[in-house]
Amino acid sequence: MPMGTYRVSPRGQGPRHSLWSLSESSVKEEEGEEDEGARRCLTPFEKLTTDMCRDEKTIKELTVGRRVGFYKVRGEIGAGTFSKVKLAFHALTKDKVAIKILDKTRLDLQAQRLLSREISTMESLQHPNVLRLYEVVETPSRLHLVLEYAGGGDLYTRITTEGRLHDALSKIVFAQVLSAMKHLHDNNIIHRDLKAENVLFTCQACVKVADFGFSTKVKSRSEILDTFCGSPPYAAPELFRDESYLGPAVDTWAMGVLLFFMVTGTMPFRADTVVRLRRCVLEGTYSLPTWVSAPCQRLIRGILRMDPSERCALDQMLGCEWLLPVEITRPLPPFQLNPRYLAEAGPGELEEEEEEVKAALEQLGITSEHIINNQGKGSRSPITGVYRILLHQGQRKRGVETPPMIRGVVKDPKRDSLRAYRSLRHTSKLCILA
């Protein structure tokens, strides 16, 4: 039989080969090679979007929840009443993110309003110590908030496992929380759930205020509120009295409780039931250990005052003796949350860091046309998600999120006077003995 030909077997006598079938196989191989060649020419963005439509493995991962939009989902890192939080990686930038996953079937109207408010609040805040929202991804049954990943855990876990913070670290952490809360109040936003569990570490000493589910925007700081929100151990007396209240004063009280917990490792008001806790808070009695520095004691006592109008204001805290050596974190210069300005800017109109973000987007294959075509979606656009992550990358490289420094030591006049008095007494005794 001539080489390269195949016998056609009669029906029912084994596999059938023919020149036609050989030709078909060759065509498929050639098409496969062409497809592979075409894939090699795709930009990372084009390859990702193509895989999400055609690649069986990617489609399966999207179906079973191993992928959410442009994010590869890994293990669970936290859970709440209506949500769970998972670690994920952006498929293009490779950045770690935290994805807060909410089951839409379990959200009533009130929960939906709170969620909408949480998204709106995070969109309106630009501060190095406020957790960032990158993107919102919605599926038929779930809503995913793609958040900045804070890999250092929360303040509550750190203190309960390692003990109270030493004085210098307490100053650095509290100064950052104070700066974030001042930024909130300057924008007429009340957190209403400040607690150690909602203060997250991104590194050893840099922290982020998180979880804005109970936050609310007021018309002015003097606006009266009447909804009890937050965690009972951090609740101000006026909340336990079921009174209407001023939002800033409630946040201020929570900061006092937080500071007490940081420097002592315990809570100022402790009880095994909410009823007993209420009684403790309304009595307003607590005990500060003598080893807490006098300036810190004065700050705590200035915050934890029963009358809201007498509590130490945030500006007073910023200038208090205990925090004087600390360089307080400043808000970030305003930046665009929507990438459209990159596509519309003319030559020379962008700042250097904006040019870098635009170049990084183009390197991934995201062009001005992609940006313009994704308008109207806001944080629900994957293009916006990539842009915000790259923007944040650049800001971190420029050092805008480094923890504050302690520039010097402010002496405590009372402690110095006491030390001088003891020294004088000791000298007098020596003189008498001589």
Residues 312 and 201 in one domain: yes
pLDDT of residue 170: 96
- Which residues of the chain register pLDDT less than 70? 1-40, 408-434
Is residue 100 a known part of a binding site?
A: yes
Q: Where a domain ends, among 323, 353, 371?
A: 323
pLDDT of residue 433: 38
Identify whether the C-beta of residue 48 lies closer than 8 Å to the C-beta of residue 382: no
User: Quick check: is 96 in a domain?
Assistant: yes
Sign of the CA dihedral with 289 first, then 308, 273, and 212 last: negative
pLDDT value, residue 45: 95
Residue 415 lies in a domain: no
Amino acid 408: pLDDT? 62
> Does some domain include residue 133?
yes
pTM over 0.85: no
Q: Which segments of 325-381 does DSSP mark as H helices, in order? A: 340-344, 352-364, 368-373
| Those residues with Cβ within 8 angstroms of residue 30's Cβ, 6 or more apart along the chain or in another chain | none
**Does 39 map to a domain?**
no
pLDDT of residue 5: 40
Nearest to residue 235, comparing CAs of 221, 216, 218, 256? 256
Task: Tell me, yes or no, whether 91 and 129 share the same domain.
Answer: yes
Of the candidates 223, 152, 154, the one whose C-alpha atom is nearest the C-alpha of residue 190 is: 223
Three-class SS state of 156: helix
Do residue 216 and residue 119 come from a single domain? no
The domain boundary, picked from 85, 119, 148, lies at 148
**DSSP summary character for residue 197:** G
Asked if 51 is an active-site residue, the reply is no
Closest CA to 155 of 194, 191, 197, 208: 197
d(CA 321, CA 325): 8
Q: What pLDDT does residue 179 have?
A: 95
Among positive and negative, which fits the CA dihedral 13, 19, 20, 25? positive
Is residue 426 in a domain?
Answer: no
* Residues 125 and 256 placed together within one structural domain of the fold: no
Beta bridge partners of 73: 88
Q: What is the pLDDT of residue 6?
A: 38
Are residue 175 and residue 131 in the same domain, yes or no? no
Please tell me the distance from the alpha carbon of residue 139 to that of residue 421, in angstroms, as a whole number.
70
Q: What residues contact residue 370 under an 8 Å CB cut-off, 6+ apart?
A: 45, 383
Long-range contacts of 72-81 (CB under 8 A, 24+ apart): 73/99
Which among 323, 358, 378 is the end of a domain?
323
**Rama region for 287: left / alpha / beta (φ>0; ψ in -120 to 50; rest):** beta
What CATH code is carried by the domain that includes residue 56?
3.30.200.20
Position 160 in a domain: yes
Instruction: Give alpha helix (H) positions in 42-108.
Output: 44-54, 56-64
Number of domains in the chain: 3
H or E segment to which residue 74 belongs = strand 71-79
Name the residue range of residue 372's domain: 340-397
Catalytic hit among 51, 154, 193, 211: 193
